[in-house]
């Protein structure tokens, strides 16, 4: 057995080297399959196994699970394409570009990161001046807001965040998050939303629909992962980054351009973490010169704390991968993520209120 199988979560190693699947014992499959399912990476693993001609060689039971995951991913892929036609139709009268973000963007741009990628909602970005009109048009076409959000929740989204409250279609169950930027107004960094839109790339299949430029796609993925406080899908998002970096590395001048975009948008720190952890966990080929050019390594105590916490948070939340201090590490990253996105005078009352509402809901259930 390869020694790497004894040192890292099985799902991480199998994604890095799908050839390991042929060596797994039944007990290891019993760990790997739930790890993949919990981290939303089972379909990705199945896609890699199929693309490398390994799927038919696997034992019948795990092969069945992987094939089922591929069926789910294919069904979601069809559903997303259909949903995009509905969004495109609804916003055609808006006369404004619609920019797809994250999973839906990877899918329509036919990027490797979209292969076997599962996601729960569709994220779009529109110019801030078109935010209200976009919401009105989508509601006219059937999407509705969450009736359980109170006045504080509405203010939280509309005054401080970079997106509207989620909109859900009551018949199809689809959810749209409408953004005007990739970070909240209250965050420490302030990406240039006008530049994101100006650099966007049109999608040939959907006139009027765009995706972020390759550089901004990497930066958004890095920012979403390393400036957010919730790491439930952290490993999946790191897999996205590995796939994006490997794919766009073939574009002439990509690394220099990535650095220029990171500097312009003030996102060198999340890019530093993205480069560090894709290289550390997936051996992603990244030029050493880029690290020096970014010149944004955190101070040693912060780097040590992040290394300890991310070493736990970037693992599946499954008993077979659990390490001492997992819960505390995720709590630290949760508080850090909020601290990066909101100043203390807003953050402290916000966290107190969230804690109070969570306790109230728990008391009502008991």
**Sequential DSSP letters for 76-111:** HHHHHHHHHHHHHHHHGGGTS-EEEEHHHHHHHTT-
When pLDDT is cut at 50, 70 and 90, the band that residue 348 belongs to is confident
Residue 2 has pLDDT above 70, yes or no: no
Q: Which residues pair with 124 in a beta bridge?
A: 100, 178
What is the pLDDT averaged over residues 49-54? 95
Query: Residue 223's CB: how many other CB atoms inside 10 A?
Result: 25
Q: In 3-state terms, what secondary structure has residue 299?
A: coil
Average pLDDT, the chain: 91
Residue 366 has pLDDT above 70, yes or no: no
Question: Which pLDDT belongs to residue 250?
Answer: 93
- Asked if 221 and 274 count as a contact pair (C-beta separation under 8 A), the reply is yes
For the chain, what percent of residues have pLDDT higher than 90?
Answer: 72
- Buried b / exposed e over 146-181, threshold 16 CB at 10 Å, is eeeeeeeeeebbeebbbbbbbbbbeeeebbbbbbbb
Task: Name which residue leads in pLDDT, 361 or 86.
Answer: 86
What is the pLDDT averaged over residues 173-201? 94
Instruction: Give pLDDT tens digits for 228-254.
Output: 888 888 999 999 999 999 999 999 999
What is the pLDDT averaged over residues 257-284? 95
When pLDDT is cut at 50, 70 and 90, the band that residue 291 belongs to is confident
């Amino acid at each position: 057995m390869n020694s790497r199988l004894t040192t890292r979560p099985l799902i991480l190693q199998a994604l890095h080297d799908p050839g390991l699947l042929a060596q797994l014992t039944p007990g290891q499959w019993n760990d790997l399959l739930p790890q993949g399912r919990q981290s939303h990476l089972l379909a990705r693993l199945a896609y890699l196994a199929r693309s490398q001609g390994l799927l038919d060689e696997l034992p019948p039971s795990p092969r069945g699970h992987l094939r089922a995951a591929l069926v789910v991913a294919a069904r979601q892929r069809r559903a997303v394409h259909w949903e995009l036609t509905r969004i495109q139709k609804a916003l055609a009268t808006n006369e404004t570009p619609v920019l797809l973000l994250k999973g839906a963007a990877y899918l329509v741009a036919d990027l490797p990161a979209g292969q076997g990628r599962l996601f729960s909602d569709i994220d779009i970005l529109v110019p801030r001046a078109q935010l209200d009109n976009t919401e009105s048009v989508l509601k006219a076409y059937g999407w509705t807001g969450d009736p359980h959000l109170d006045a504080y929740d509405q203010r939280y989204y509309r005054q401080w965040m970079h997106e509207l409250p989620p909109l859900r279609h009551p018949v199809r169950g689809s959810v749209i998050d409408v953004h005007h930027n990739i970070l909240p107004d209250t965050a420490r960094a302030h990406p240039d939303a006008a530049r994101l839109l100006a650099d966007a790339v049109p999608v040939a299949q959907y006139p009027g629909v765009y995706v972020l430029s390759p550089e901004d796609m990497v930066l958004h993925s890095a920012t979403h992962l390393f400036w957010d406080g919730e790491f439930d899908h952290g490993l999946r998002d790191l897999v996205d980054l590995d796939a994006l970096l490997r794919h766009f590395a073939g574009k002439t001048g990509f690394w220099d351009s990535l650095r220029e975009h990171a500097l312009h948008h003030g996102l060198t720190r999340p890019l530093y973490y993205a480069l560090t952890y894709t290289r550390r966990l997936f051996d992603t080929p990244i030029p050493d010169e880029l690290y020096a050019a970014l010149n944004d390594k955190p101070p040693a105590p912060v780097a040590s704390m992040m290394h300890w916490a991310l070493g736990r948070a970037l693992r599946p939340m499954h008993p077979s991968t659990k390490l001492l201090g997992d819960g505390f590490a995720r709590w630290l990253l949760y508080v850090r993520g909020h601290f990066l996105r909101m100043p203390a005078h807003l953050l402290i009352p916000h966290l107190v209120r969230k804690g109070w509402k969570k306790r109230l809901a728990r008391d009502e259930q008991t």
